[in-house]
């Protein structure tokens, strides 16, 4: 039975009769549900918003930008993701547009007593479009349960950059993620053909799993940068030169099939952010979104 909810108020089953004569409250914990649908178009060489749709606790803001592109900031007014919450983000960059998407702070995934939270992102890029997906890190509290997916459908001449970081446990509280669930599913299609497919699943004793050399070697902060573009493979050496050496963080780059991937693995999020920030600025030849610095 599906549940309909626009806020953290009473929930109702959405399969009641059309006359609403039998609308009966569903007994259960309140959930947050939010959705954003945003589309940008090119007008006289400038990127401009075409469609903005918001529901629930998700909002998108467009701070002023002196460039020809658009900076978009996604805000979760629920203050985090609790067990069983569901959020969907749909971003479209039409032909010739340039869109940068970020978040104002780290996203917190709270402890769950069973239900799985779901985050879903869909990115669509037209011919010659550029989209930089640069949210700040996701922090998984101990016993958090999260299923996250990212789907992208891009044109052959489009340029897509994705950076996603995840932290296991709250370092400020000396917390380790002893138990929990984290599923991260990425599917990238280029020219309607599958170009990249990756699924990470950590379940159960996550702290023990992260200690294994074949998984994280004791690191608690992981990140992936993905660059899909016509020149992706040609930029491999540039990427490796930019990685440099940052104490407490390991990183490596590879390129194939029209894409470039960089993996970061760090003991602390501070080390990872230091390494990733330097890389992102250098590789993109552009500053980080302003919300990263606030």
pLDDT of residue 79: 87
Question: Do residues 266 and 248 lie in contact, with contact meaning Cβ atoms separated by under 8 Å?
Answer: yes
pLDDT of residue 233: 97
Question: Do residues 95 and 46 lie in contact, with contact meaning Cβ atoms separated by under 8 Å?
Answer: no
Q: Is the pLDDT of residue 218 over 90?
A: no
The pairing of strands 86-93 and 33-43 is: parallel
Q: What are the residues whose beta carbons fall under 8 Å from the beta carbon of 22, sequence distance 6 or more? A: 16
For residue 138, give the nearest of 205, 76, 227, 213 by alpha carbon: 76
Q: Is the pLDDT of residue 111 over 60?
A: yes
Reading the block at residue 122, the tokens are 């869909």
Q: What CA–CA distance (Å, rounded) separates 187 from 32?
A: 26
Q: Is the pLDDT of residue 36 over 90?
A: yes
pLDDT band at 29 (very low <50, low <70, confident <90, very high): low
Distance of CA 239 to the CA centre of its chain: 21
* Mean pLDDT value of segment 49-71: 92
pLDDT of residue 30: 75
Q: Is the pLDDT of residue 57 over 50?
A: yes
Reading the block at residue 47, the tokens are 């990127």
Q: Is the pLDDT of residue 12 over 50?
A: no
Question: Do residues 90 and 119 lie in contact, with contact meaning Cβ atoms separated by under 8 Å?
Answer: no
Q: pLDDT digits over 154-165, tens only?
A: 999 999 999 999
pLDDT of residue 18: 42
Q: Which residue has the higher pLDDT, 31 or 97?
A: 97
- What is 102-142 written as a DSSP string? E-SSPEEE-B-SSPPEEEEEEEEE-TT-EEEEE---EEEPT
Lowest mean pLDDT among 60-69, 154-163, 193-202: 60-69
Strand positions, DSSP E, the chain: 3-4, 12-13, 33-43, 46-55, 58-61, 70-76, 86-93, 98-102, 107-109, 117-125, 130-134, 138-140, 145-154, 159-168, 180-190, 193-204, 221-228, 249-256, 259-266
Query: Which residue in this structure is represented by tokens 């390494």?
Result: 275
Return mean pLDDT, the chain.
Answer: 88
Query: Three-class SS of residue 240?
Result: helix
pLDDT of residue 252: 95
Distances in Å between the Cα of 93 and the Cα atoms of 98, 191, 203 are: 7, 15, 35
pLDDT of residue 27: 46
Burial of 157 (0-12, 13-18, 19+ CB in 10 A): middle
pTM of this structure: 0.88
pLDDT of residue 67: 82
């Amino acid at each position: 039975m599906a549940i309909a909810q626009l806020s953290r108020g009473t929930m109702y089953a959405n399969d009641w009769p059309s006359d609403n004569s039998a609308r009966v409250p569903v007994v259960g914990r309140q959930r947050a549900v939010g959705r954003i649908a945003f589309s940008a178009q090119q007008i006289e060489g400038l990127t401009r918003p075409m469609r903005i749709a918001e529901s629930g606790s998700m909002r998108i803001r467009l701070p002023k930008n002196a460039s020809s592109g658009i900076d978009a900031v996604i805000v979760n007014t629920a203050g985090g993701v609790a067990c069983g919450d569901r959020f969907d983000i749909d971003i479209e960059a039409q032909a010739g547009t340039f869109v940068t998407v970020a978040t104002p702070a780290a996203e917190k995934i709270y402890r769950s007593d069973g239900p799985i939270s779901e985050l879903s992102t869909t990115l669509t890029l037209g011919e010659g479009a550029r989209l930089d997906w640069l949210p700040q890190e996701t922090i998984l509290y101990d016993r958090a349960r999260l299923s996250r997916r990212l789907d992208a459908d891009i044109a052959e001449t489009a340029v897509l950059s994705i950076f996603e970081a995840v932290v296991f446990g709250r370092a400020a509280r000396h917390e380790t993620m002893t138990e929990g669930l984290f599923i991260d599913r990425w599917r990238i299609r280029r020219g309607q053909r599958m170009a990249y497919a990756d699924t990470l699943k950590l379940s159960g004793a996550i702290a023990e799993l992260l200690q294994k050399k074949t998984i994280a070697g004791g690191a608690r902060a992981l990140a992936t940068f993905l660059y899909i573009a016509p020149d992706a493979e040609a930029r491999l050496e540039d990427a490796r030169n930019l990685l440099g050496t940052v104490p407490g963080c390991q990183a490596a780059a590879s390129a194939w099939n029209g894409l470039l991937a960089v993996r970061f693995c760090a003991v602390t999020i501070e080390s990872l952010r230091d390494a990733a920030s330097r890389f992102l600025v250098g590789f993109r030849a552009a500053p980080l979104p302003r919300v990263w610095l606030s």
